[in-house]
Amino acid sequence: MSEAVSFDEGIRTAEAAIRDGDHDLAGRLLATLAAARRDEHPARLALEAALATATGDFHAALRAWQRYEALFGIRGRDRLKHAAVLERLGRIGEAIAVYRAIPTPPGSDHRGVLQEARLHGKLGNHTAALAVLDAALQGGAGPETEVRLRAARARAAMAAGRRLDALTDFVFLAEAQPGKPTGLVGQIDVHLLHYDRTAAAAALARAQKRHPRDVKVLAAEARFIQQFGNDDDFVGFVQRLVPLRLGAAEVEELLAEMFGTRHLFFTEELRARLIAASGLPAHETILRGLLDEGARATPELRLAAARKAVDDVAAYPDSPRGLKMRVRLASALIEAGAAEEAETVIDGLAATVRGWPYSPPLIGELLEWQAVRRGDVAGAQASYWHRRRMIARRDRSDELECLRALPGPPPPVVVVCQLRNEMPMLPAFFRHYRKIGVERFVMIDNGSSDGSTEWLSAQPDTELFRSASPFRRAEAGNAWTNPLIARPAYADTLCLRVDADEHLVYPHVETRPVAALWDYMQGEGAEVLAGHMLDMLPETLAHVAAPEADFTERARFFEPPPPPMPVVTCPYFSYRGGPRTRLLGIPSDHLTKCSGLRGGGTVEQTRASHRTSPARVASVGMVLLHYKFRPDFFERARRVAAEHQYASASQSFSRYQLLEDEMHRSVLSAETRPYTGSASLLAAGVLKTTPGWDAAGEVPAREGEPEPAPG
C-alpha cells in the first residue's frame, strides 16, 4: 500500500511540476517512478508524453502515446493530447482520425469535433469544418455544447462565405449568452463583411450598450471605423481610449485594427490631431510607432523575415504552423525573383501533404503558380476552381436589372464597364473603343444621377444593366461583372473590363483592331491580356478643370512606372508607383490590370481587375491610359469620399484638397514624357510587344465609326 501511495504521490507531484514549468523536477520524478516500477503504467506514460510536449520534443511525445495506445488504449481527454502531437508532427490524416474516433454520446462535449473543425479551418478547408460541425449539431447536443459548436460554425461559415448561416448562429449566440459580446461582435463582423453600414452600426450600438467597456466590442468599433470612418471618427476613438486604463498591448492592437492601411493616406494635419488626442505618453508612443509604419517593406526585407520564420519552426516544419511559414517563404522568394528556390520549397510542401486526406487550400495558390510555370495551365485552373467551390460563390448578378439586352451572339470583343455618374467621360470612352473595333458594350450603371443612364440607353451597341446596390459590397463590381463575363455565349469572346476613365492601348493600336489582337492571343493559347494603368497628366490641374476642355488632349503626359516585380497570382507580375505617389505623398498605387479575359467562365477576375484566376497571359502587353485628372476631378473626389465605397476615400480626398489649393502648379516632373501614340509607349519601355505581333499584317483603322448619340 505504501508503494502505491508513493507512486500516486510521485505522479501527482510530477504532474504539478509540468504544470508549473519545472521540467527538470518532472523528469527526475518520472525517471525515479520508472526505476521503482518497471511495468508500464498509463498515468506515467501520459506524463512522459506531456513532459515531452512541454519541452517541444514531439517525437518523444508520440513514442510515449504509441506505447500507451499499444498497452492500454488511449481514452478520454488523452486522445485530444495524442492528436495534438500528431498535428505538430504534420501527421494530419492520423490526427483527424483520432479526433473522429472520440465518441460523442448524448451529453458529451464534442471536443473531438471542435478540434477537427479547428484543424480543417487552420488548413483553409472551411467547407470540411462546416460539414463536421453541421453533422454534430444535427446529431443533438446539450445547451452548453451547442453554444460552443454554433460559435465554431459561425466562424467557419463566415470564412466560407456563408453570410446568412453565420448571421443566424451569431444571433443565436447573442440570445443564448446575453452576458457575453461574442454574438453581437460576430453580427457586426458579418455586416462589415457584407459592407452593410446601417446593420453594422445598429449591431455595434447594441453591443456598446450591453458591454460598454469590453475590449472585443472596442475592437469591433475599430473595424467599423476602419471601413466607414472619417478623420473625426479616428480622432474620437483615440480620445475614448484614454480613460479606459487598457494595457499597452491592447491599445496597440486596437489602433492597428482601426488603421489597417488607411494611416498610409493620413495628412500631416490628421497625424497631428491624433497625437494631440492620445492623452497619455504611452498612447502617444504607440501612435507614433504605428503612424511611422508607412514605409513599405522591400521584397528583400520580407524574404529575410520569412527565412527567419521558417528557421523558428525548423524542428517541426510539417506542422500546420510550419506549413504556413513555408508558404510565406515560397511567396517571398517569388516576389524577390528567386523562382527556382521557390519551386524547391513548393516541391517540399507538395511532398509534405501528399499523404494527407486533401491538399490544403493554404498551399493552393503556390501549387497553381508552379503548375502554370511548368506549362500545366489546365491543372492550375482545375485546382483553382476546386478551391473556389469551397467558398460560397460571390454572384450578385441578381442585383442587376437588365434595361436592355442585345440580340444575337456577342462579337469577338466586348467592353464590360461599371460606372456611376460618368457623363463627362462617356463620349470619349465610347469614341475610343469604337475606334479600335469594339462593337458591343456591356454597361452596369450603379445609380447614376447625372444623365449617364439616359445617355447609355440611347447607344445602339450597348447592353445596359442597372443596380442600386453598393459597389463595394459587390467586391468592387466583380460579383456583377464576373457572372456576366462567364455567360456561356461569351466563351470565345475577349471581354475588356475597364472603367470609364480608362482607354486601352496596345502595340500598333492605331492600325490594328482589337479583334486582331484577340486572334493573335488565341493563336498562342492566351486567355488574359494584362498590363498596367498609366496616369495621364496635364501640365497643371487648371488645364483640365474647365468643363469645355478636351481632357484627352490636355492630359497628354505620362511617367514610366518602376519595373514590375513577380507575384504568385495571375498575371504573375505587379506594377506599383505612379505619379500620384509623388504628387500626393501616398503609398504606391496598385497599377497592375488584367483588363482582357476570355469569357465563358474559364477565367475570372479577382481583387477588382488587378488579378485573375490562373491563366496563360498574352505575350503582348497593354496599357490603360488612366484619365484620373479630369474636368470634375475635385467634385468627384468629394462625392466618392462621402459615399464610403473605397476604404481610403476620406483620407485620399484630404490629400487631393492639397492639390486643389495649387491648381496652377505644374504636376510634371523630369520623368514626364508626352504621349503621342503607342509608339511613344514602346519607346519608353512601358508597353510590351513581340516580333510576331510586330510582323502581323496591318489593318487600316476604322473609318466613320458611329459617334455617340447626344445626351
| Stretch (H or E) spanning 220 | helix 215-228
Q: Are 321 and 310 in contact (CB under 8 A)?
A: no
At residue 404, the pLDDT reads: 97
Strand, coil or helix: 570? strand
Determine the pLDDT at residue 661: 75
Element holding 419 (H helix, E strand): strand 413-419
Residue with cell 448619340: 709
Please report the pLDDT score of residue 295 as a whole number: 53
- Phi/psi region, residue 550 (left: phi>0; alpha: psi -120 to 50; beta: rest), is beta
The secondary element (H helix, E strand) that includes residue 466 is: strand 462-466
CB within 8 A of 584, min separation 6: which ones?
A: 652, 655, 656, 658, 659
> What's the pLDDT band for 5 if we cut at 50, 70, 90?
low
Of 135-149, 356-370, 548-562, 590-604, which gets the smallest average pLDDT? 548-562
By the 8 A CB rule, do 495 and 475 touch?
no
Q: What is the percent of the chain with per-residue pLDDT over 90, rounded to a whole number?
A: 76
DSSP annotation string for 507-570: TTTTTS-HHHHHHHHHHTT--EEEEEEEE-B-SBTHHHHSTTS-HHHH--EE-PPPPPEE-SSB
C-alpha cell at 98: 483520432
CA dihedral (634, 638, 641, 646) positive or negative: negative
Determine the pLDDT at residue 634.
78
Whole-angstrom Cα distance, residue 266 to residue 226? 13
Q: Is 577 helix (H, G, I), strand (E, B) or coil?
A: strand
For range 467-489, the mean pLDDT: 93
Residue for cell digits 481610403? Answer: 648
Closest C-alpha to 506, from 572, 413, 423: 413
With a cut of 90, say whether residue 282 has pLDDT above it: yes
Report the amino acid identity of residue 665: R
- Kindly state the cell numbers that stand for 554: 490636355
62-117: pLDDT as tens digits:
999 999 999 999 998 999 999 999 999 999 999 999 999 999 888 889 999 999 99
- pLDDT value of residue 664: 81
Q: What is the pLDDT of residue 702?
A: 54
Q: Which of these, 243, 239, 253, 237, lies nearest to 286 by C-alpha position?
A: 253
> What was the pLDDT predicted at 711?
40
- Is there a contact between 23 and 17 (Cβ–Cβ < 8 Å)? yes
pLDDT digits (tens, 9 = 90+) for 132-165: 999 999 988 899 999 999 999 999 999 998 999 9
- The pLDDT score that the predictor gives to residue 700 is 55
Q: State how far the Cα of 290 lies from the Cα of 234, in Å rounded to an integer.
A: 14
Check residue 678 and report its DSSP letter: H
Asked if residue 497 lies in contact with residue 419, where contact means CB atoms within 8 angstroms, the answer is no
State the amino acid at position 609 in one-letter form: S
Mean pLDDT for the stretch of residues 544-560: 83
Residues sharing a CB contact under 8 Å with residue 137, sequence separation 6 or more, in sequence order: 146, 149, 150, 153
DSSP run (H or E) holding 615: none
Closest by alpha carbon to 588, among 562, 614, 615, 608?
562
- Cell 494595457 belongs to which residue? 247
Q: Write the CB contacts of 540 (distance below 8 Å, at least 6 apart in sequence).
A: 663, 664, 665, 666, 667
Contact yes or no for 597/414 (Cβ under 8 A): no
For the record, the C-alpha cell of 94 comes out as 492520423
pLDDT value of position 169? 98
Kindly report, residue by residue over 175-229, the tens digit of the pLDDT.
999 999 999 999 999 999 888 999 999 999 999 999 998 999 999 999 999 999 9
On the CB side of 308, how many CA atoms lie within 13 Å of its CA? 6
Q: Determine contact, residues 282/548, Cβ cutoff 8 Å.
A: no
Q: Which of 3-17, 335-349, 487-501, 521-535 has the lowest mean pLDDT?
A: 3-17
Q: Give the pLDDT band of residue 4 (cuts 50, 70, 90).
A: low
Residue 397: which region, alpha, beta or left (left: phi > 0; alpha: psi -120 to 50)?
A: alpha
Which pLDDT does position 429 carry in this prediction?
98
DSSP 646: S
Mean pLDDT for the stretch of residues 331-360? 95
Whether pLDDT at 546 is above 80: no
Answer yes or no: are the C-beta atoms of 469 and 480 closer than 8 Å.
no
Integer Cα distance of 470 and 475 in angstroms: 9
Find all residues with CB under 8 Å of 621, minimum gap 6, and list them: 506, 507, 530, 531, 687, 688, 689
32 within 8 A of 38, measured Cβ to Cβ: no
- Report whether 45 contacts 67 (CB < 8 A): yes
Closest CA to 427 of 193, 627, 150: 627
Contact 445, 426 (CB under 8 A): no
Please give the angle made by the CA atoms of 659, 590 and 417, to the nearest 5 degrees.
Answer: 90
Mean pLDDT over residues 279-283, rounded?
Answer: 95
What are the pLDDT digits (tens) for 101-110?
Answer: 999 888 889 9
pLDDT of residue 1: 38
* Residue 100: per-residue pLDDT: 95
Most trustworthy range by pLDDT among 3-7, 35-39, 351-355: 351-355
